[in-house]
Structures are given as C-alpha cells and as structure tokens.
Amino acid sequence: MLMQIERFSYDNKIVKAFMIATVVFGLVGMLVGLTAAIQLVYPVFNFDLQYTTFGRIRPLHTNAIIFAFVGNAMFAGVYYSMQRLLKTRMFSDKLSWIHFWGWQLIILAAAITLPLGYTTSKEYAELEWPIDIAITLIWVAFGWNMIGTIIKRRERHMYVAIWFYIATFITVAVLHVVNSFEIPVTFFKSYSWYAGVQDALVQWWYGHNAVAFFLTTPYLGMMYYFLPKAANRPVYSYRLSIIHFWSLIFIYIWAGPHHLLYTSLPDWAQSLGVVFSIMLIAPSWGGMLNGLLTLRGAWDRVREDPVLKFMVVAVTAYGMATLEGPLLSLKNVNAIAHFTDWIVAHVHVGGLGWNGFMIFSILYWITPRMWNTKLYSTRLANTHFWLGTLGIIFYALPMYVSGVVQSLMWKEFNPEGFLVYKNFLETTMAILPLHALRATGGALYLTGAIIMTYNLIKTANAGSFIANEDAEAAPLEKAYVATSGGWHHRLLEHKPVIFTVLTLVAILIGGAIEMIPTFLIKSNVPTITSVKPYTPLELHGRDIYIREGCVNCHTQMVRPFRSETERYGEYSKSGEFVYDHPFLWGSKRTGPDLARLNGKYSNTWHYNHLLAPDAVSTGSIMPAYPWLFEQSIQKELTPGKISAMRTLGVPYEAGYEEKANDDLEQQASAIAGTLKTDGIEVAEDAEIIAVIAYLQRLGKDIKVETATPTLVNETPKN
C-alpha cells in the first residue's frame, strides 16, 4: 500500500515582513539607546525639547528593543520554524497579516505616545490602556494562529521548540492582562488598579517574567531549532530538554520579588524570590549546556561560519546572564548592586549578547535560504561579529566598574562616622568617563548592525525570493502509534491541548502563592495613620512627574542601610505607599533618592533647579524643564482624577471632586506666594507649581511627630 503524500507550501512572505521590521526597528531602537547613553554624559543632547529628554526616550528605547526588535525577530523565527516543524502552512494567512500589521501599529503608537509623555511609568509596561487593549487583541490573534497550526499539523510529535512557543504565548498573555489592570481617567491617562506594595509586587512579577517569557523562552525554542540546523547535529539530549522546559517555566515565575530586596515588600515574599532565583541556575544552565553540547563534532566549523559564531556567543551570554541574575538575588550581593549601573550591565549582557546575537545568527541563516542564494559576504558577517563582541565588552565592563564605584561611594564613611560623599552629585560625576565608554560600546554594536543590514540587502538582491516554499508530507495519522523513549513525555507531546493546560497550571502556581496573601492579609501592609491622600495639586504634580519620566533616574525607596538613612532619612515603610497608584520606587539611581525630600530644599530652590539644573548644582547632568513654567495645570481633569482615585479606594470624601479645584488653587497660591517673596513671579496655575507641591510632599507624612507625655522629674529627650 502506497503512503499518501500531501503537497503544500510554507508561507515565507510573513517571515520576510517580520524580518524587515526586525532590522528597521532594531536600528532605530539602538540609535535611540545610543542617544540616551550620550545624554548621561553630555546633557546638551537632551536638546532642550520636551519630547527628547532622557526620561522620555529611555522607555522609548526599551520598548523599541524589547517589543519592536526582539519581538518582531521572535515572530519571524516562530513563523519560520513552526511551519517546518509541524509540516504545515500557518493556520490562517489572514491571521498572520492581522498579527503583523497590528503589531507594527502598536509599535507606532508607542513611538508616538511615549515621547509625548503618555506613560504608566511601570517598567516595560509603560504603554497606556488603549494600547494595552490592542496588545491583548493582537496577542490573541498570534496565539489563535499558533494553536490552530499545531492542531492541523502533519507531524504528531511536538518538537521541543514548540513547547517553548506555547509557554511564551500562555504566560505573556497572563502577565500582560494581570499587570495592565488600570482605571482610565482620559484616553491617554490611567491609574494602576494596584497601589504601593501590591503594585510593586505585580509589576516585578510581570517585569521579571516578561524577560523570562518574552526575551528568553521563545529564543530558547529558536535555539533548539536553528542551532541544530546550523550545526547539522541533533540536539545533545532530549531528556535534558524535558527537564529544562518544565523546571524553567515552573521556577521562573516565582523569582520576581528579587527585584524588590530590602524594599517595603514583606520579608517572606523577598525570601521566596531569593530561593527560587537560586534554583533557576540549574534549568538555565541545563539549557545552555544542551545548546553548547549540540555543537559536539562541529566546533571546527565555528571558526569559519559566522552563524555558529553568533550562536555560540549568544548561548554563552545566556549562561552568563542566568548565572549572574540568581547571584544578584543574594541579599549581600543585591545590597551592593541594586540601583547601580551593575544592573544595567547585567541586562545588556542578556539583551546585546543573548537576544541580539541570536537574532543576528537567525537572520544570517534564514535570508540565504528564503532568497535561494548564498550570503553576500562572510567577511562582512565576521566583521559584524567582532564589532558586536567588542561593543558588548565596551558596554558591559565599564558599567560593571561603574556599578561598584557607585555602591562604594554611596556607602563610604570617614573615621568620624560621617558619609564621605554626602553630596550625591559627586558619585554621578565620578562615573561619567565610564558612561562615555558605554556609549562607545553602543556605537560599535550599532555599526555592526548597520553592516549586517547592508549584507542582508545585498544577499537578497543577489537571489530570488521564494514567497511560497513547496513542501510535502504524509497526513497526520488518526490512530495513535506508541513510540519508545522519552519517558512518558511523548504522550504529552501528542496532546497539545493538555500540554497547554499543564503549562498554564505550572506558571500560575508561583504567582498565585506570592500575590494572594499580599492582597488579602492586611498585616502584609501595615497602615500608618499619619499618611493621607495627595491633595489635588500634589496629585497633578505627581502625574507630571510620571509624564516626564523622573522615575527613570530617581528612586523613592530608602533601604534599611545606615548609608541610606544617614543620606536620606528614615527607611521606607509599606504603609507609606497605600495611596500610590502607581508605585514609584524606581530601579536605578542616576540622581538621589527622593522619598524624604520634603523640607530639604525651599520652593525657590526647586524652581531654579528645574529651570537650570547645572546653575544650581554644578556638573548636574539633569535636563532642564522650561515647559513646566509655560504650561498650565489641566484643572479640568481634576474631578475625573479624584473620582478615579476614590474608585481605587483612596478615601476622598463623596462629592470632593466638585470642590477639589478650590483646594488646588489655595495651595497653588500659597506656593506662588513664597516664590514671590524671593522675587520670582510665576503664574499660580503653572505646572511647576504642581511639581513643587508634589516634591515637597514626599516623606512629609511620616515626619508628623506625635507628642509623648513627659513623666514628672524626667528630663525630656532631645
């Protein structure tokens, strides 16, 4: 009996579209990142424009790299490999193109709204609520297309790469939906549904696992497909792949709290994050070793083949980053590294090394095959490799040194017990040469990417694009045929729906155990009676602070270290943040912490500092904000903001929104009056007034002193 063979074609057009988007947005994202790096050395490159300050383009850079560069490359690799692994065309060409154009429109919306200051301020999730809804819809289209393709496959066995693609779709969907709960105020403004400690926990549960399931798991899936293809060797160990997958997706989801060590997060949650972060070393290195050992017998080709060169460094960078991450979660290491440039180095070893080099290798491998030709220039590809490698070195090493220098300077005391570098600006100026080296590394990396772009264009021009690649395969057998090997995992690989459900269960457990107690048990966030809601003027000032991206450089979290309490004041308590929607603890100190700023400087000082930072603090790299003195507070939004906050549980009295602007104007008049006393004339409704009000509020509530009765004959204590 002759075996039936079905003829079909693979859709290369959708892969080509995502590849072009990858290259274009990659160059744009890297250029924006280089600009941001230069701004931290030469503030003049903020251009004194409202839309190009570091606070606004830093999130533009991260979103462009994560979602536009890495995201488009992920979709290109998934669409290319999935069709061939499942021996079928994608489920729906229409869904493929809805996915493509929808994703590009989301990126365009991000590129417009972020420089305009429309941001939630939540790291890697800055996009406002209409775009969040669009992301959800387009992600569903992607998942529908992927699951449909798996169901109509001609290959019963689901190869390991498919497992990682399923985990990516399921987990990113859960992360995005949970973290994006917010209440709209206007079309471009919302408040996070969560507050303070809970918001921080949800955000870093999302932030850490966005790295895990958007930047890692899909690329591990592509590693399992493209590395064996490029090396012409089978994966080293199928059983190690099984252990790698299930242990990784179960453990990873628990590790988010390690971003919040020494903060106001409950200690038990911090400890859980540490334990599971250390456990992550095992599955992460299992995957790295599985990749590198796949090259057994092919190492001689690594010298000559640029694709393998990029892949080897990518997998090695993955191993380095996934060892360093757990080590950074140890409290004694975190005490040194957190809030410093060390974290920037760590992130970019993964971003530039793991994601960037894996993308480059895939582009170099796919392009000649889809255009039925050879790579235009191996020499140019090798040049790109060495420029990229030098770029990573010149980027990462100065940032590691900078991080250590920052931490040591922040913590240094003289023999008399006083801080040696009490002025934070001294620590900023000390690392400027290292930031200049970082920018040099970024320029080298970008130059390599430009060379790659030229090489790929010349390769495509030399060949003929295969839009629909002919293929043939036997139809999927209806009857299940038992196979040997692989323990009992083969059963799961033949049942995609059950596999998907088990994946969902595995990733839900950790998040539920960490978050539910924090939300339901009040003792996790003890209240402080002196902490009151923000006044309407302060609320406007806080929103302007968020709009300008100040959280990208300033933290609002004093950790319980003597060096920090000496510099800033009393360490932060969880009850301080119960009205903060969203939380603004920050993750990097380019400038000093602001949690205890109240009363440290006069209103006049803040006015002059925001108008001309370098004139007030010589050597400051903070940009000026002249538009704050020209633009007016949007008082017409006050009622909506108050109403939204009350919905979120902030105890504004019923009907307060009707008289909130009266209180706003009274407080604004008082601040403008103090400025006038110092000879500064400013409109009472200028945005600078609201910002000053917010800055002067920071830390004020816990400074309220309660009088204690003095016993007879007892000497009062100072």
pLDDT at 521: 81
* CA 547 from centroid of its chain's CA atoms: 18
Cα dist. 608→549, 599, 675 in Å? Answer: 19, 16, 10
Question: Are 324 and 337 within 8 A, CB to CB?
Answer: no
pLDDT at 708: 38
Low-confidence ranges of the chain (pLDDT < 50): 1, 706-718
What integer pLDDT is reported at residue 482 of this predicted model? 54
For the chain, domain boundaries: 10-471+497-514, 536-706
State residue 124 phi and psi, 5-degree precision.
70, 5
> Is 176 known as a binding-site position?
no
Q: Is 61 annotated as a binding residue?
A: yes
b/e string for 528-556 if b means 16 or more Cβ within 10 A? Answer: eeebebbbbbbbbbbbbbbbbbbbbbbbb
540 known member of a binding site? no
pLDDT at 490: 80
Please say whether the dihedral angle defined by the alpha carbons of residues 669, 675, 679 and 683, taken in this order, is positive or negative.
Answer: negative
What is d(CA 351, CA 328) in angstroms, rounded to the nearest whole number? Answer: 17
Q: Are 75 and 99 in contact (CB under 8 A)?
A: yes
| Domain formed by 10-471+497-514, architecture | Up-down Bundle (1.20)
Cβ pair 210, 124 in contact under 8 A:
yes
* Residue 346 assigned ligand-binding role: yes
User: Could you give the residue ranges of the DSSP H alpha helices within 420-561?
Assistant: 424-430, 432-462, 489-493, 496-520, 536-547
Would you state the pLDDT for residue 518?
85
Encoding tokens for residue 425?
């600006």
Cross-strand partners of 475? none
CA dist list (Å): 463 to 370, 372, 662: 9, 6, 70
The per-residue pLDDT for 395 is 98
To which CATH superfamily is domain 536-706 assigned? Answer: Cytochrome c-like domain (1.10.760.10)
259 is in an annotated binding site: yes
Tokens of 412: 């240094």
**Which residues have a Cβ under 8 Å from the Cβ of 714 and sit 6 or more positions away?**
none
User: 329 and 278 in contact (C-beta within 8 Å)?
Assistant: yes
The predicted structure's pLDDT at residue 714 = 35
In angstroms, rounded to a whole number, what is the distance separating the alpha carbons of residues 178 and 439? 36
Element (H, E) at 174: helix 160-179
* Residues 256 and 201 sit within 8 Å (Cβ to Cβ): yes
